[in-house]
Every structure is written in C-alpha cells, then in structure tokens.
Amino acid sequence: MKSIKGDIDAAVKITSIDFCPVPMRLTTPYTIAYETINDVTNIFLQIKTSKGISGYGCAAPDQAVTGETVFQALESFETVINSTLIGSDPLRAAALMEQLAISLPNQPSVLAAVDMALYDILGKVAGLPVWKLLGGYRSFIKTSITIGIINVDNTIREAKKFIDQGYTCLKIKGGKDVEDDILRINKLRDYIGPSIELRFDGNQGYTLDDTLYFLKQTEEAALELIEQPIPKGEMGLLEKITNTASLPIMADESLMNLRDAFRLARKDVVDMVNVKLMKVGGISEALQINAVARSAGLEVMVGCMDEAALSIAAGLHYALSRPNIAYADLDGHIGLQHDPSKHSVNIKQGILSPTDQPGLGIILDDEWDCY
C-alpha cells in the first residue's frame, strides 16, 4: 500500500483534476423502506497541485437521497469543477466552495468530494490530520453497524455475527411493516440482552399513528433512538412525535442543508440530527450545521451512504472534531467489495480511528490506479 502525503510551500496552485467512477458490489445486499441496494458507484476525485501534493475526495451520488445521478456528477466534475478549480489556490477553500455552491446548488455529493479533497490538501500543508485541525475533541469513536429489513431469524443471525466481531451498537432498518418491525425489535432485544445498544431507522416509512404505535409496543426493548420515522416534509408531525416520545427522535432525510438545521433547531422539532457529508455538501457545511445544532442543544450523529473508506475517513475526521458529535453511523464501507481505499480508516470491535497520516490519511491499494 502507498501512503498519500507530501510537502508543500507557498504559491501552491491546482494544476489538474482527475476523477473516476468506482463501481462496488455489496457482499450482502440489504433492504430499507423504499429500496434494495445491491451495488453502488462512488466517484473518486484527485486534486493535483503545483507542489506535488494531491488531495483526495469521494462522491456518492444517490438520486433518492442527494438528488444526483452518477452521470450528472461526472458531467459536473468534467465541466464546472475543472473550470473553477484549475489555477486556483487550494488553500482558499471557503472562496472556492462558495463559488461552487452557487454553480452546483443541487449536487451536494460533488461539493462534498471537492471539500474533503481541499481539507486533505490543507492537512498535508500543516502536517496534521484533519481531525486535529478541526478541533481534535476525541481520537476515536464507536460506530453502529446496520442490519437491513430481513425476517426475525436472519436479523438475529446478523446481529450475532456483528456482536461476535465486537460491535456493541446495532442499527435496525424498518419502515415497511410496523408489525414486523415491532416483532424484530422485541425478539432481537430478548436475544441480545440489555448490554447491546439498539437504534431504529424508519427511513420515512411510517405514518404518525404507525410511529406512536411502534414506540409504545417497543418500550421494553429500550431503544437508544429512532431515526426519521416519517416523510421528510412532515415537520409538524415530526415535532409532535418528539414531544410525545420518551426516547430521542432524530432527523435524517429532513436535514439536507444549513437552512434545514436552523428550522429543526428553532422549533425544537427533534432531539438529534444525522449529518451526512453527502447530503450537506462536505465538512465545511457540516461544521456550520453542527454549530446550529449545538446552539439548540441538539446532539449530532455523523452518518453515511454506501461510501468507500475514502469518504468514510472524511466523516470520521469530522466526527472526532466536536464534543456534541456524540454518535457515529459510519459503516457504509463495510461489505463493499473492491474498495481501493479500504485501508483509509481503522476499525476494531466497532471502534473507528483514523490512520496516522496527515490530511485525511487516505491510503490506496498499490495495484489500483484510476488516474
């Protein structure tokens, strides 16, 4: 494996942009409330500079979540990203990202890829990992591991496998059938006992009545939180659930940008928010969202899509930076076949930590070369 790092001095300029679609199949396909995922295509980005240092980023476009297709993202890299960045100073990231946000208002994963690549360059300039540049509150964090919508027996089988690997927090997907979800949660809690944390993600699949019924019927399962049970546009109903529920309610799909964060925080619509770099446009925007959340006393979870470890590394560095980023759901790289960046984060018994390299600490397989 080769470590991606280098030296740099003044007057650095961006000399070229390289990008490449990377298709990856899932070892185990999974189902959520509105689709089944078998494979995914990420787009790897390399920003080269005049001083021989490169920054790496990753986009995970998903039409259902980010509103982008892979084709649209590739076209934006070819046109807007190239014309905006080449010849620019990569250390003026705020100016560059502001310009790109105006040009690409509906392509958050493309913005996220550029943003993380610029942070990667900045970290290498400073000779420091990004998580320390951002504040360095903690050096590792526990992640949940996700189980899709499957029957009770298979849910228990998957849970046992992950617990045997050292995971102590399980996130269970649901939202298609409330009765089945209740059965799965209660049977699973009976099997795993009280020591394993359980989170539930409804992925917008429930009505208000479904949600309240689910909460009542799973009280004894002691769920840690419930994530986005109802459609994202139903903010009033989400607030009603939050005011009724005895456990924390988290917004996911309802939080797509800084404006959403303000609306959720202003009216105490939820207790927690799930910040995904692919949804919000990168680390810079995520930091602003986190500030809004903290001002309202909301805890933050860093989530992810089906993302290569390159992208998960960026989410991890963000997760480590601030005290109110208390939760991580950064398992999108686990089970991705042929991920050329798989060594870019460390995971042991459900604990994520960064590599010891500057920047985002990206490490690419020796045999892989897209550029």
- Give the chain's radius of gyration (CA, Å): 20
Secondary structure class of 148 (helix, strand, coil): coil
Is pLDDT at 10 greater than 60 in this prediction? no
pLDDT band for position 9 (50/70/90)? very low
Calculate what percentage of the chain has a pLDDT beyond 90: 92
The superfamily CATH assigns to domain 2-126 is Enolase-like, N-terminal domain (3.30.390.10)
What pLDDT score was predicted for residue 367?
A: 75
pLDDT band for position 30 (50/70/90)? confident
Secondary structure class of 154 (helix, strand, coil): helix
Q: Tokens 């964060």: give the residue.
A: 261
Same fold, 2-126 and 132-364: no
Torsion angles phi and psi, residue 362, rounded to 5:
-70, 135
Is pLDDT at 14 greater than 50 in this prediction? yes
Of 79, 85, 78, 140, which is closest to residue 115 (Cα–Cα)? 85
Contact 132, 337 (CB under 8 A): no
Indicate the average pLDDT of the chain. 95
**132-364 sits in which CATH class?**
alpha beta
d(CA 251, CA 255): 6
> Is pTM, for the whole model, over 0.85?
yes
Calculate what percentage of the chain has a pLDDT beyond 70: 97
Q: 124 vs 192, 206, 246, CA distance in Å?
A: 44, 45, 45
Number of residues that make up the chain: 371
Q: pLDDT tens across 313-366, in order?
A: 999 999 999 999 999 999 999 999 999 999 999 999 999 999 989 999 999 998
CB-neighbour burial class of residue 236 (10 A; exposed 0-12, middle 13-18, buried 19+): exposed
Three-state SS string over 256-296 comes to: CCHHHHHHHHHCCCCCEEEEEHHHHCCHHHHHHHHHHHHHC
**Active-site residue list:** 173, 201, 227, 252, 276
Q: What is the DSSP letter of 80?
A: I
What are the DSSP E strand ranges found in the chain? 2-3, 14-31, 36-49, 54-59, 141-142, 145-147, 169-173, 197-201, 225-227, 249-251, 272-276, 299-303, 325-328, 345-348, 351-354, 363-364
Mean pLDDT of 111-135: 97
d(CA 262, CA 258): 6
Is pLDDT at 1 greater than 90 in this prediction? no
Mean pLDDT of 197-216: 97
Domain limits of the chain? 2-126, 132-364
Of 176, 178, 227, 177, which is closest to residue 198 (Cα–Cα)? 227
Is pLDDT at 288 greater than 70 in this prediction? yes
Q: What is the DSSP letter of 81?
A: I
Is pLDDT at 232 greater than 60 in this prediction? yes
Is pLDDT at 104 greater than 80 in this prediction? yes
Of 14, 8, 7, which is closest to residue 89 (Cα–Cα)? 14
